[in-house]
Each structure stands twice: as C-alpha cells, then as structure tokens.
Amino acid sequence: MTGTLAAIGAGLAVIGAGIGIGNIGGKAMEAIARQPEAVGDIRSNMILMAALIEGAALIAILLSILLA
C-alpha cells in the first residue's frame, strides 16, 4: 500500500516538474524566436532553470522512495 502511495507521490512530483520545465522550454523558444541573437544566453539559462526545477522534483521522488 505504501509503495502504491509512494508511486502516486512520485507521479505528482513529475507532473509539477513537467509543467515547470514545459513552461521554461516554451518561453525560451519564444524568446529565441524574438531575439535569435541571444540564443546562447537563453539556452544556458534555460538549462540552468530546468535543472533547478528538476532538483525540487528529485527531492520529492527521493522522499517517496525512502518512505515507501
């Protein structure tokens, strides 16, 4: 039972991270389309932000593994 709950928790964490990273990717594409000359800066900042969001999701997944 706790395993099932942990799996649901991990799934919920992934939904949040997915929405966040999707927003970042979409906005970054819009920004690149508006200002193609700033593509380098936008790309590295996009990866940085995606990595930070991923970090929050990973902590949630770790907790769900440890408490399973």
Partner 1 sequence: MRKILPILLVSALTLTAGLAQSHHHHDEHDGHDHSAHAHDTHDAHGCACHEHHDETFEPAATAFHHIGDANAFHFFGNIYIPLPCVLYAPQQGLSFFMSSKFGKMDAHGTAKTAVDRYVMVDGSVMRVNDTKFPAGEVAIECVNHKTTKVDGKDVDQFEVVYKGECYPLDKRSTLDGGVLGGGITSFYDFSITKNVFTMLLAFLLLFVLFRTAAKGYETRRGQAPKGIQSFLEPIFVFIRDEVAVPFLGHKYEKYLPFLMSIFFFILGLNLIGQIPFFPGSGNVTGNLAVTMALALFTFFVTNLSGNRHYWEHTLWMPGVPALLKVLILTPVEIMGLFIKPLTLMLRLFANITGGHIVMVIFVGLIFIFGQSGANLGGGMVGTLMAVPLTMFMMALELLVALVQAFVFCILTASYIGAAIEEPHHH
Is 7 near partner 1 (CB under 8 A)?
Answer: no
Q: Which of 5, 8, 39, 48 is close enough to bind partner 1 by CB under 8 A?
A: 48
Q: Which amino acid is at 1?
A: M
Is 59 near partner 1 (CB under 8 A)?
Answer: yes
Of residues 28 and 61, the one with the C-beta less far from partner 1 = 61
Q: Which of 34, 44, 46, 64 is close enough to bind partner 1 by CB under 8 A?
A: 44
The helix-helix angle for 2-34 and 39-66 (nearest 10°) equals 180
Minimum distance between the CB of residue 26 and partner 1, rounded to whole angstroms?
A: 18
31 burial level (CB within 10 Å; 0-12, 13-18, 19+): middle
